Amino acid sequence: MADELTKGLEGVLAAESELSSIDGDAGRLIYRGYDIEDLAAEASFEEVLFLLWRGHLPTRAELDDFTDAMADERAVDDAVVETIRSLAAADEAPMAAMRTAVSMLSATDTDADAAADDRDAARRKARRIVAKTPTILAAYDRVRRDEEPIDPDPTLGLAANFLYMLTGEEPDAVAAETFDQALILHADHGLNASTFTAMVVGSTMADMYSAVTAGVGALSGPLHGGANQDVMEVLFEIEESDLDPREWVEQATDEGRRIPGFGHRVYNVKDPRAKILQARSEELAANGDDTWYEITTAIESYLTDEKGLVEKGIAPNVDFYSGSVYYQLGIPIDMYTPIFAMSRTGGWTAHVLEYQADNRLIRPRGRYIGPDAREYVAIDER
């Protein structure tokens, strides 16, 4: 068994966690025992962060203190802002800019030199990273559009504040609640590639900034993040064509094109997060442009009812509806993966904190398949 090879570590148990659980056959996701539908409907993103980091839902007093502490950490140092300006001027990709800026946050952290086993310092670093990441991303997008960054508003929740810093306008209740739900849905999802990467780095007892920077790097790869941007680009293509959505998809699939947003490594049925975002997309459409909701639902209907993909274990995932939801909220499409990362910093840091509490260096083996013993030949004799 020790020598059995599982490419991609699929199905391999590498750790135990109390944070999240996925039932791919039932289409169920839970955070610390709470169903994602209940949390998305009733909780705030800050409440879910508290749950992931502390292990229980907060009381009103605990949540107020926690929310205030998060709001107090939102501002970033001028040196970080200047770096963001340089990255924007260089036309750096948003995820690469995020990776650099998150790494730089450690330069101004008062806990930067804390001992590796200082758990309280690690928790404070986690709080600062999650609080400051929205400020970094909003500032980057504004600067590249030749607009000045907007200071955080401590009276707004994390989700509403991000939309305010991004657009310059305080979002209405529907937009704020929708984005807050989206952050909750993306906060954690088991040992996915970026979470596992952050844990591997954390297992060396590296600091939280190193672990999260590594997580950002892993999420930047097209096989992990970016599918919601791909979905939106397909929706644009359909909207600009002379075909209705079903005809377009039929033609595309006949040509061998893959429709982004369908299929998942874990879910064999419709992603529960997709169901929630579909409902939010419908609500946003009722208050504005229904183009994107109509196209996405038509695509899903065709691929499920006529092509029968669900029976084959291929169903809509969270990216299929998150792209159009973000677009309706006024978020640029190349910011979709950074938005994913902004939310997932909560899960990354939670997993690092959990793993480091009972740490063991993650060190798998690789099977050598190279040549057997060779005789060395001096360079002048080759």
- DSSP run (H or E) holding 20: strand 20-23
What percent of the residues of the chain are helix, what percent strand, and what percent coil, each to the nearest 5? 60, 5, 35
Q: List phi, psi (to 5°) of 293.
A: -65, -40
Cβ atoms within 10 Å of 3's Cβ, excluding its own: 6
Q: Which of 264, 290, 334, 380 is catalytic?
A: 264
**Residue closest to 320 by CA, chosen among 267, 265, 260:** 260
Query: Residue 334 has what DSSP assignment?
Result: G
Cβ-contact 75, 135 below 8 angstroms:
yes
Q: List phi, psi (to 5°) of 316.
A: -60, 135
Q: Is 277 exposed, middle or buried (0-12, 13-18, 19+ CB in 10 A)?
A: buried
Q: Is 15 exposed, middle or buried (0-12, 13-18, 19+ CB in 10 A)?
A: middle
Q: From CA 345, how far away is CA 363, in angstroms rounded?
A: 23
Q: From CA 220, how far away is CA 225, in angstroms rounded?
A: 6
Question: Does the active-site annotation cover 319?
Answer: yes
- DSSP run (H or E) holding 30: strand 28-31
**Residue closest to 29 by CA, chosen among 234, 324, 277:** 277
Q: Which of 319, 351, 358, 372 is catalytic?
A: 319
Q: How far is CA 164 from the centre of its chain?
A: 20
Residue 55: which residues within 8 A CB-CB, separation 6 or more?
Answer: 18, 32
User: What pairing do the DSSP bridges indicate for beta strands 28-31 and 20-23?
Assistant: antiparallel
Q: From CA 122, how far away is CA 128, in angstroms rounded?
A: 10
Query: Residue 309 has what DSSP assignment?
Result: T
By annotation, the residues acting in catalysis are: 264, 319
